[in-house]
Protein backbone atom coordinates (compact mmCIF):
# COMPACT_ATOMS: atom_id res chain seq x y z
CA UNK A 1 0.00 0.00 0.00
CA UNK A 2 1.12 3.58 -0.64
CA UNK A 3 2.70 5.61 2.17
CA UNK A 4 0.17 8.32 1.43
CA UNK A 5 -3.01 8.74 3.40
CA UNK A 6 -5.76 6.57 1.91
CA UNK A 7 -9.42 7.61 1.94
CA UNK A 8 -12.02 4.96 1.17
CA UNK A 9 -15.27 6.40 -0.09
CA UNK A 10 -17.04 8.03 -3.02
CA UNK A 11 -16.36 11.62 -4.03
CA UNK A 12 -20.15 12.06 -4.09
CA UNK A 13 -20.52 11.51 -0.35
CA UNK A 14 -20.75 14.73 1.70
CA UNK A 15 -18.85 13.00 4.51
CA UNK A 16 -16.03 12.01 2.18
CA UNK A 17 -16.10 15.50 0.66
CA UNK A 18 -15.62 17.03 4.11
CA UNK A 19 -12.49 14.96 4.69
CA UNK A 20 -11.08 15.56 1.20
CA UNK A 21 -11.55 19.32 1.51
CA UNK A 22 -9.64 19.24 4.80
CA UNK A 23 -6.84 17.27 3.14
CA UNK A 24 -6.76 19.70 0.23
CA UNK A 25 -6.60 22.76 2.49
CA UNK A 26 -3.84 21.23 4.58
CA UNK A 27 -1.88 20.28 1.47
CA UNK A 28 -1.61 16.60 2.39
CA UNK A 29 -0.97 13.93 -0.21
CA UNK A 30 -3.69 11.29 -0.34
CA UNK A 31 -5.17 8.55 -2.48
CA UNK A 32 -8.82 7.54 -2.82
CA UNK A 33 -10.58 4.22 -3.25
CA UNK A 34 -13.84 5.71 -4.58
CA UNK A 35 -16.30 3.03 -3.53
CA UNK A 36 -19.95 3.55 -2.75
CA UNK A 37 -20.30 1.98 0.74
CA UNK A 38 -22.91 -0.59 -0.32
CA UNK A 39 -20.23 -2.11 -2.56
CA UNK A 40 -17.65 -2.65 0.20
CA UNK A 41 -16.22 -6.15 0.61
CA UNK A 42 -15.64 -8.08 3.86
CA UNK A 43 -12.33 -6.29 4.44
CA UNK A 44 -14.24 -3.01 4.24
CA UNK A 45 -16.63 -4.29 6.93
CA UNK A 46 -13.66 -4.82 9.24
CA UNK A 47 -12.35 -1.31 8.59
CA UNK A 48 -15.81 0.27 8.92
CA UNK A 49 -18.00 -1.80 11.28
CA UNK A 50 -21.06 0.30 10.34
CA UNK A 51 -20.20 -0.09 6.63
CA UNK A 52 -20.16 3.67 6.18
CA UNK A 53 -17.75 6.06 4.55
CA UNK A 54 -15.27 7.63 4.73
CA UNK A 55 -12.55 5.40 6.10
CA UNK A 56 -9.08 6.91 6.53
CA UNK A 57 -5.93 4.79 6.62
CA UNK A 58 -2.74 6.51 7.75
CA UNK A 59 -0.05 3.91 8.23
CA UNK A 60 -1.32 1.51 10.88
CA UNK A 61 -4.14 3.83 11.93
CA UNK A 62 -7.68 3.23 10.65
CA UNK A 63 -10.52 5.67 11.38
CA UNK A 64 -14.09 5.39 10.13
CA UNK A 65 -16.01 8.54 11.04
CA UNK A 66 -15.67 11.85 9.19
CA UNK A 67 -15.67 14.03 12.32
CA UNK A 68 -13.11 11.84 14.05
CA UNK A 69 -11.00 11.86 10.90
CA UNK A 70 -11.09 15.65 10.54
CA UNK A 71 -10.18 16.17 14.20
CA UNK A 72 -7.30 13.71 13.77
CA UNK A 73 -6.03 15.59 10.73
CA UNK A 74 -6.22 18.85 12.69
CA UNK A 75 -4.30 17.38 15.63
CA UNK A 76 -1.72 15.74 13.40
CA UNK A 77 -1.34 18.65 10.98
CA UNK A 78 -2.45 21.78 12.87
CA UNK A 79 -1.64 24.30 10.14
CA UNK A 80 -3.56 25.77 8.50
CA UNK A 81 -6.03 25.50 11.34
CA UNK A 82 -9.59 24.44 10.54
CA UNK A 83 -10.93 24.67 14.08
CA UNK A 84 -11.18 28.05 15.85
CA UNK A 85 -8.54 28.73 18.51
CA UNK A 86 -11.07 30.17 20.97
CA UNK A 87 -12.55 27.41 23.14
CA UNK A 88 -16.13 28.65 22.87
CA UNK A 89 -15.94 29.16 19.12
CA UNK A 90 -14.34 25.75 18.69
CA UNK A 91 -17.24 24.19 20.56
CA UNK A 92 -19.71 26.07 18.35
CA UNK A 93 -17.86 24.91 15.24
CA UNK A 94 -18.18 21.32 16.41
CA UNK A 95 -21.89 21.87 16.99
CA UNK A 96 -22.40 23.02 13.40
CA UNK A 97 -20.41 20.03 12.20
CA UNK A 98 -22.63 17.72 14.24
CA UNK A 99 -25.78 19.47 13.01
CA UNK A 100 -24.61 18.96 9.44
CA UNK A 101 -23.65 15.33 9.93
CA UNK A 102 -26.83 14.36 11.77
CA UNK A 103 -29.78 16.59 10.89
CA UNK A 104 -28.65 17.62 7.41
CA UNK A 105 -27.45 14.10 6.69
CA UNK A 106 -30.91 12.78 7.45
CA UNK A 107 -32.69 15.47 5.44
CA UNK A 108 -30.45 16.02 2.45
CA UNK A 109 -29.02 12.51 2.02
CA UNK A 110 -31.49 9.93 3.23
CA UNK A 111 -34.70 11.86 2.62
CA UNK A 112 -33.66 13.50 -0.67
CA UNK A 113 -30.44 12.28 -2.33
CA UNK A 114 -31.20 8.67 -1.41
CA UNK A 115 -34.58 8.89 -3.14
CA UNK A 116 -33.30 10.67 -6.25
CA UNK A 117 -29.91 9.02 -6.75
CA UNK A 118 -28.98 6.15 -4.43
CA UNK A 119 -32.11 4.01 -4.62
CA UNK A 120 -32.36 4.13 -8.43
CA UNK A 121 -28.61 3.72 -9.07
CA UNK A 122 -27.80 1.08 -6.45
CA UNK A 123 -31.01 -0.86 -5.91
CA UNK A 124 -32.97 -0.12 -9.12
CA UNK A 125 -35.82 1.17 -6.97
CA UNK A 126 -38.05 4.20 -7.39
CA UNK A 127 -37.72 6.96 -4.84
CA UNK A 128 -40.47 7.72 -2.35
CA UNK A 129 -42.21 10.74 -3.87
CA UNK A 130 -44.34 11.42 -0.79
CA UNK A 131 -41.23 11.52 1.38
CA UNK A 132 -39.45 13.80 -1.10
CA UNK A 133 -42.40 16.19 -1.14
CA UNK A 134 -42.41 16.42 2.65
CA UNK A 135 -38.64 16.88 2.65
CA UNK A 136 -38.78 19.74 0.15
CA UNK A 137 -41.76 21.51 1.72
CA UNK A 138 -41.12 20.96 5.44
CA UNK A 139 -37.72 19.54 6.40
CA UNK A 140 -35.38 21.51 4.17
CA UNK A 141 -37.11 24.84 4.90
CA UNK A 142 -36.75 24.13 8.63
CA UNK A 143 -33.01 23.55 8.20
CA UNK A 144 -32.59 26.66 6.08
CA UNK A 145 -34.64 28.82 8.46
CA UNK A 146 -32.32 27.85 11.30
CA UNK A 147 -29.10 28.40 9.34
CA UNK A 148 -30.30 31.67 7.80
CA UNK A 149 -30.25 33.17 11.29
CA UNK A 150 -26.79 31.76 12.05
CA UNK A 151 -24.57 32.40 9.03
CA UNK A 152 -22.88 35.77 8.45
CA UNK A 153 -23.75 38.20 5.69
CA UNK A 154 -20.11 38.12 4.59
CA UNK A 155 -17.21 35.76 5.10
CA UNK A 156 -17.41 32.59 7.17
CA UNK A 157 -18.86 31.56 10.51
CA UNK A 158 -15.73 32.12 12.59
CA UNK A 159 -13.67 34.53 10.51
CA UNK A 160 -11.43 32.11 8.64
CA UNK A 161 -12.84 29.07 6.82
CA UNK A 162 -13.44 26.34 9.40
CA UNK A 163 -14.71 22.81 9.76
CA UNK A 164 -18.16 24.27 10.42
CA UNK A 165 -18.31 25.93 6.99
CA UNK A 166 -16.90 22.84 5.28
CA UNK A 167 -19.38 20.49 6.96
CA UNK A 168 -22.44 22.63 6.24
CA UNK A 169 -21.60 23.41 2.61
CA UNK A 170 -20.74 19.80 1.76
CA UNK A 171 -24.41 18.80 1.89
CA UNK A 172 -25.48 21.43 -0.59
CA UNK A 173 -23.40 19.80 -3.32
CA UNK A 174 -25.58 16.70 -2.93
CA UNK A 175 -28.67 18.86 -2.80
CA UNK A 176 -27.65 20.31 -6.16
CA UNK A 177 -27.17 16.82 -7.60
CA UNK A 178 -30.75 16.16 -6.45
CA UNK A 179 -31.80 19.31 -8.37
CA UNK A 180 -32.40 21.43 -5.28
CA UNK A 181 -31.19 25.02 -5.14
CA UNK A 182 -31.56 27.50 -2.31
CA UNK A 183 -34.22 30.13 -2.94
CA UNK A 184 -32.14 33.31 -2.63
CA UNK A 185 -35.28 35.40 -2.20
CA UNK A 186 -36.34 33.46 0.89
CA UNK A 187 -32.89 32.60 2.29
CA UNK A 188 -30.51 35.24 0.91
CA UNK A 189 -27.79 34.79 3.52
CA UNK A 190 -27.68 31.03 3.07
CA UNK A 191 -27.62 31.24 -0.72
CA UNK A 192 -24.70 33.67 -0.66
CA UNK A 193 -22.90 31.86 2.16
CA UNK A 194 -23.03 28.43 0.52
CA UNK A 195 -21.83 29.89 -2.77
CA UNK A 196 -18.86 31.54 -0.99
CA UNK A 197 -17.83 28.35 0.76
CA UNK A 198 -18.18 26.17 -2.34
CA UNK A 199 -16.03 28.63 -4.29
CA UNK A 200 -13.05 28.17 -1.95
CA UNK A 201 -10.09 26.27 -3.46
CA UNK A 202 -10.55 23.03 -1.54
CA UNK A 203 -14.08 22.56 -2.85
CA UNK A 204 -13.24 23.92 -6.31
CA UNK A 205 -10.49 21.33 -6.86
CA UNK A 206 -12.94 18.48 -6.19
CA UNK A 207 -15.79 19.88 -8.28
CA UNK A 208 -14.76 18.50 -11.72
CA UNK A 209 -14.40 14.99 -10.32
CA UNK A 210 -17.76 15.15 -8.56
CA UNK A 211 -19.53 16.55 -11.60
CA UNK A 212 -18.12 13.78 -13.77
CA UNK A 213 -19.18 11.03 -11.35
CA UNK A 214 -22.69 12.44 -11.07
CA UNK A 215 -23.08 11.64 -14.78
CA UNK A 216 -21.36 8.23 -14.66
CA UNK A 217 -22.79 4.80 -13.71
CA UNK A 218 -21.33 3.47 -10.45
CA UNK A 219 -19.60 0.55 -12.16
CA UNK A 220 -17.60 3.02 -14.25
CA UNK A 221 -16.61 5.44 -11.47
CA UNK A 222 -13.03 4.24 -11.03
CA UNK A 223 -12.33 4.21 -14.77
CA UNK A 224 -13.76 7.71 -15.18
CA UNK A 225 -11.70 9.04 -12.30
CA UNK A 226 -8.58 7.47 -13.80
CA UNK A 227 -9.27 9.32 -17.06
CA UNK A 228 -9.48 12.57 -15.09
CA UNK A 229 -6.23 11.97 -13.23
CA UNK A 230 -7.74 11.55 -9.77
CA UNK A 231 -5.34 10.28 -7.06
CA UNK A 232 -6.61 6.70 -7.05
CA UNK A 233 -5.42 4.05 -4.64
CA UNK A 234 -4.15 0.94 -6.45
CA UNK A 235 -6.01 -1.30 -4.01
CA UNK A 236 -9.79 -1.42 -3.74
CA UNK A 237 -12.09 -2.60 -0.99
CA UNK A 238 -15.02 -2.73 -3.42
CA UNK A 239 -17.09 -5.50 -4.99
CA UNK A 240 -19.30 -5.51 -8.11
CA UNK A 241 -22.47 -6.37 -6.18
CA UNK A 242 -24.07 -4.13 -3.53
CA UNK A 243 -25.38 -5.26 -0.18
CA UNK A 244 -27.29 -3.36 2.46
CA UNK A 245 -25.52 -2.20 5.58
CA UNK A 246 -26.41 -2.86 9.19
CA UNK A 247 -27.65 0.68 9.82
CA UNK A 248 -31.24 1.60 8.85
CA UNK A 249 -31.56 4.10 5.98
CB distance 84 to 95 below 8 Å: no
pLDDT band at 114; cut points 50, 70, 90: confident
Proportion of the chain above pLDDT 70, given as a percent: 97
Q: Is 132 helix (H, G, I), strand (E, B) or coil?
A: helix
Q: Above 80 in pLDDT, residue 186?
A: yes
Give Cα 115 distance to the centre of its chain: 17
CB distance 6 to 56 below 8 Å: yes
Proportion of the chain above pLDDT 90, given as a percent: 84
Domain with CATH 3.40.30.10 in the chain: 5-81+202-227
Contacts of 244 (CB under 8 A, 6+ apart): 38
Question: Residues 224-243: what's their mean pLDDT?
Answer: 95
Q: How would you classify residue 9: left for phi > 0, otherwise alpha for psi between -120 and 50, otherwise beta? A: left
Question: Residues 99-106: what's their mean pLDDT?
Answer: 96
Question: Residues 3-20: what's their mean pLDDT?
Answer: 96
- CA-to-CA distance for 231 and 100, rounded, in angstroms? 27
pLDDT at residue number 118: 83
Question: Residues 7-25: what's their mean pLDDT?
Answer: 98
pLDDT at residue number 75: 97
pLDDT at residue number 247: 53
Q: Above 80 in pLDDT, residue 248?
A: no
What is each CA distance from 220 to 50, 156, 213, in whole angstroms? 25, 37, 9
Question: Which of 15-29, 122-136, 200-214, 230-244 has the least mean pLDDT?
Answer: 122-136
Q: Above 70 in pLDDT, residue 242?
A: yes
Query: Could you tell me the fold of the domain covering 5-81+202-227?
Result: Glutaredoxin (3.40.30)
The reply to whether CATH 1.10.10.10 applies to domain 87-199 is: no
Average pLDDT, the chain: 94
Domain with CATH 1.20.1050.10 in the chain: 87-199
- CA-to-CA distance for 39 and 244, rounded, in angstroms? 9
pLDDT band at 59; cut points 50, 70, 90: very high
Amino acid sequence: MSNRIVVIGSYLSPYVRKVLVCLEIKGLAYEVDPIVPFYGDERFSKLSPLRRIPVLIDGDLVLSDSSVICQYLEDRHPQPALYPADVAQRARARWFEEYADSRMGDVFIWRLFNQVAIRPAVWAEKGDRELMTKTLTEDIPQVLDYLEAEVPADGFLFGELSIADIALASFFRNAAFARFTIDAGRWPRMAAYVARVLDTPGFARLRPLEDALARTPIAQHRARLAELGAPLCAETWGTPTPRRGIMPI
